[in-house]
Amino acid sequence: MPSPLPRIARLRNPVVRPPEWLARLMSRLVLGTPALAVAAFMVERPGRVDSTGREMTRAWLFDQWARIAEAGSAVRVVVVEGSVRGLRPDWTTYGQWTAALDACRAAGQQLYGYVPVTNGTRPLAEVAAEVTQWQANLGSRLTGIYLDEGPVSCSPAVAASYRGYAQHIRSLGLRVYPLAPQWPDDATDAAGVSDPWMRQLDPDFLQLWEEGVDAYLNRYGALDFCDTQNLLPPPAWWTALWGWQPGVRVFGHSARRVHTINDCPDAPTMRQVIALAIQRSARTVWVTRARQDPVLGSVYDELPPYWDEMVAFIRTP
C-alpha cells in the first residue's frame, strides 16, 4: 500500500492561488489600470486629408477631440498642442476649445500643456514664461506640463535645468511629465557620486520610450548617453513596482511610466505592442501611426485609424 506521507505533506503545504478576479484587482491597485496617453497635436489643415481620407477642417479637429473625450477612462492623459497655450476669449474657436477641454476633464482625463525644452538646454525663464501662459489661459483645466525634447546628455547643467523646470512647474500647483526616451539615469555629479536626478524629480508621468515597432520588439533598452551611446539593458528602475525612489508614492507607479510606439501600422500590431508594454511595467501607452516630417520627425497630428479598436482593447480586463 502506498505511503500517505506525500499526500499529507502536500496538504500541509498547499499552493494557494487567489481567484483570477482578485489577482486582477490586486494588479490594478498596485500597478495601475492600463490606459492611453494621447499626443493631441491636431490642428486645422484645410485642403489636406488624414489617413482615412477626411479633410482636416475645423469640424474634423474638434471631432478628434470629441472622440478622445468619449473614450473616458481609457485615456489617462492628453498632451495638448502647443498653440493652445495662447487660448483667449477673442479666439473664434474659443467656445469650441473650452468645450473640448472641459469634456476631457469631465471624463476624468488629465490635460498637460506642451512645452519644448531643447534637451534640457532651454533657459528656465523661457520655459517658465510658457508655463505661466498655459496656466493663465487654461486655468483649472490644466493638470500639468509636458516637457518635450528630452535629455541626451549627462551634463550637470542639464540636470540642473530639469530641476529648475520641475520646481517652477510645481510651485504653480501643476504636475510634471518629462519626455526622457531611453534615459538610463546613471549620471554622476562633479564628485563622481551617483546622481539619479530624473528619478529624484519624482515625475508624475515619465515617458521612457518613443520609437517604432521594430525597435520596441527587437532593440528595447536604454542608451548610454553618458559615454558611448550604445544600447544598454533596460535598467531595473524601468520595471520596479515600488516607485522611482524607496518610500515615495509607492502604489500605481507603473501607470506613471509611459511608452510611445509611433509607427504602428494596424490594429493587430497595436494589440501586440500594448500587451508587451504592460508586460514591461508601463501601464500608460500611446500607440499610433505618426506622420513623418523631414524636419520635425514624428508628427502626432491625428488619431490612428485603429483608434476605436485601441480604446476597446485597453478597456479589456
The verdict on pTM exceeding 0.95 is no
With helix as H, strand as E and coil as C, how does 92-119 read?
Answer: CCHHHHHHHHHHHHHCCCEEEEEEECHH
Closest CA to 262 of 302, 212, 310, 219: 212
Whether the CB-CB separation of 301 and 42 falls below 8 Å is answered with yes
Long-range contacts made by residues 266-274, C-beta under 8 angstroms, separation at least 24?
266/306, 267/306, 267/309, 267/310, 269/213, 270/304, 270/306, 270/309, 270/310, 270/313, 271/309, 271/313, 273/213, 273/216, 273/217, 274/34, 274/310, 274/313, 274/314
Residue 7 is predicted with a pLDDT of 46
Q: Is the model's pLDDT at 17 over the cut of 90?
A: no
Residue 297 is predicted with a pLDDT of 63
Kindly list the structural domains of the chain, giving each domain's residue range(s) and its CATH number in brackets, ordered by start: 32-314 (3.20.20)
Residue 237: helix, strand or coil by DSSP? helix
- Confidence band for 249, pLDDT divided at 50, 70 and 90: low
**292 vs 138, residue with greater confidence:** 138
C-alpha to C-alpha distance for 288 and 306, rounded to whole angstroms: 8
Whether the CB-CB separation of 185 and 179 falls below 8 Å is answered with no
Residue 298 is predicted with a pLDDT of 66
| Helix (DSSP H) and strand (DSSP E) numbers for the chain | 10, 14
Share of residues in the chain with pLDDT > 90 (%): 72
Q: How far is CA 185 from the centre of its chain?
A: 18
**β-sheet bridge partners, residue 147:** 115, 178
Task: Tell me how crowded residue 315 is: count the other CB atoms within 10 A of its CB.
Answer: 14
Cell 500541509 belongs to: 12
Task: Classify the phi-psi angles of 246: left when phi > 0, otherwise alpha if psi is within -120 to 50, otherwise beta.
Answer: beta
Residue 92 is predicted with a pLDDT of 97
Residue 26 is predicted with a pLDDT of 46
Q: Is the model's pLDDT at 166 over the cut of 50?
A: yes
Residue 188 is predicted with a pLDDT of 77
**145 vs 19, residue with greater confidence:** 145
Q: What is the pLDDT of residues 228-248, one digit of tens each?
A: 778 999 999 898 876 556 555
Q: What is the pLDDT of residues 93-113, one digit of tens each?
A: 999 999 999 999 999 999 999
**131 vs 9, residue with greater confidence:** 131
Element (H, E) at 91: none
Q: What is the pLDDT of residues 23-63, one digit of tens each?
A: 454 455 455 789 999 999 999 999 999 988 999 999 999 99
